[in-house]
Amino acid sequence: MKRFFTWFYYLSKRQLKNIFFLFILILIPICALGLKEFSNSLEAAITMGIVDSDNTDLSYELLESLSETNGVVRFVTYQNTTDMSNDILNGTIQCGYEILKGFEDKLTKNYTNNLIEVYATPENPIAILSNELMFAKVFEKTGYYKFIEDIENSNVFSNITEDDYIALKENYETNLTNGRTFNFNYSSTNGKYIASGNIDVLSYIKTPIRGIIAVFIFIAGLSGGFTFLKDKKNNVTNTMCIFDVTIPVLFAAISGTFAIFLAGINDSIIKEAIAMISYSLLVVIFVLILTKIINNNVAYCSTIPVFSLGSLVCCPIFVNLATFLPIIKLVKMLFMPTYYFLISDILLIS
């Protein structure tokens, strides 16, 4: 045991003499904390306009619901489409919506055409995102009215009192968020529920933060593999040289775990720890196998940028290319960050 800790101590000391590695270890948690503070202080980045030309109960509730939306997207109420159009043209808001006259009447009769008109400049792609949010809100509010209509038109219920309607409304709103009813909402990649009206900047950067941490751990392991091969070349063949790979992965995993918690994107401590430990072990095993296959220092060193860039491009960190190129679904399995996402999906959703 003493020999174990002695090797661990000296190899750790050698690793921490690498100023660049030490700098990255410290930088990643600091950047994560900075991103959290930035997202907390950032006001809505996308502003939409909304005009109610129907002036009915349903349109009023939809308008009120949209006005209460906070986070990255927020809606501003206008009295007329002229003012809203002018603000779109001068860049005050990104796009706008007019709830057309007859909105409630058409929806209650199951007509789905000419309900809401979109105002946006042709080159503005923001309308695509906001259309989804608008549709989610319309679906949410309309669902209650269709629910009440079905109850009133059925022969099952009779003598419904005002208190019954209040209870129905409360139950409907409760069931919108507990997973027992069908409803459109935005979710993070780990499946944690995010109400469509409460999207913030941090929701959009959770996957990139986790992805960058996974790539960093992978690169740390690959770099450790190079040191491992160099020690073998210098006839340092002690079995404890496995620490050449394990130690940088361990330090990178600790730094990454701190970053996840400082960024506020963590799930439970136990699940995060299991996910990080499992992934770190996979990286160590992968690197040791790779050093067996490629035991030439120069050839091995040339694989590090390939695996690094391949992880950033093929793994769904910034964009999921598999959506456009199905072959990427197979290619990404060669890069270890893919398995971190798979482990996280299994553990953090459950």
Q: Which long-range contacts (CB under 8 A, 24 or more apart) does 74-81 make?
A: 74/44, 74/46, 74/47, 74/48, 75/47, 75/48, 75/49, 75/50, 76/47, 76/48, 76/49, 76/50, 77/49, 77/50, 77/51, 77/52, 78/49, 78/50, 78/51, 79/51, 80/51, 81/51, 81/53, 81/119
Instruction: Tell me the pLDDT tens digit for each residue of 186-197.
Output: 444 444 444 444
Co-location of 15 and 151 in the same domain: no
Co-location of 216 and 182 in the same domain: no
Q: What is the pLDDT of residue 340?
A: 93
Instruction: Tell me the pLDDT tens digit for each residue of 37-96.
Output: 776 665 546 788 899 999 888 888 888 877 776 656 778 889 999 999 998 888 888 888
Residue 276 belongs to what H/E stretch? helix 269-293
Q: Residue range 199-217: average pLDDT?
A: 78
Q: What is the pLDDT of residue 65?
A: 77
Tell me the residue range of the domain where 10 lies.
2-39+201-349
Higher pLDDT, 24 or 135: 24
Q: What is the pLDDT of residue 195?
A: 43
Task: State which of 171, 199, 227 marks the end of a domain.
Answer: 199
pLDDT at 214 over 50: yes
Q: Please state which of the ranges 12-16, 92-96, 156-160, 285-289 shows the lowest mean pLDDT.
A: 156-160
Q: Residue 16 is which amino acid?
A: L
CB 207 within 8 Å of CB 316: yes
CB 120 within 8 Å of CB 94: yes
pLDDT at 122 over 90: no
CB 243 within 8 Å of CB 7: yes
Q: What is the DSSP string of 105-174?
A: HHHHTT--SSSEEEE--TT-THHHHHHHHHHHHHHHHHHHHHHHHHHHHSSS--S--HHHHHHHHHHHHH
CB 195 within 8 Å of CB 177: yes
At 18 the three-state DSSP class reads: coil
Nearest-angstrom CA–CA distance, 222 and 177: 44
Co-location of 139 and 208 in the same domain: no
pLDDT at 278 over 60: yes
Q: Please state which of the ranges 169-183, 215-229, 258-272, 293-307 shows the lowest mean pLDDT.
A: 169-183
Instruction: Tell me the pLDDT tens digit for each residue of 244-254.
Output: 888 899 999 99
Q: Tell me, what CATH number does 81's domain have?
A: 3.40.1710
Q: What is the pLDDT of residue 307?
A: 95
pLDDT at 185 over 60: no
pLDDT at 198 over 60: no
Count of positions (residues) in the chain: 350
Q: Residue 341 is which amino acid?
A: F
Overall domain count for the chain: 2
Task: State which of 162, 180, 199 marks the end of a domain.
Answer: 199
Co-location of 211 and 246 in the same domain: yes
- pTM value is 0.60
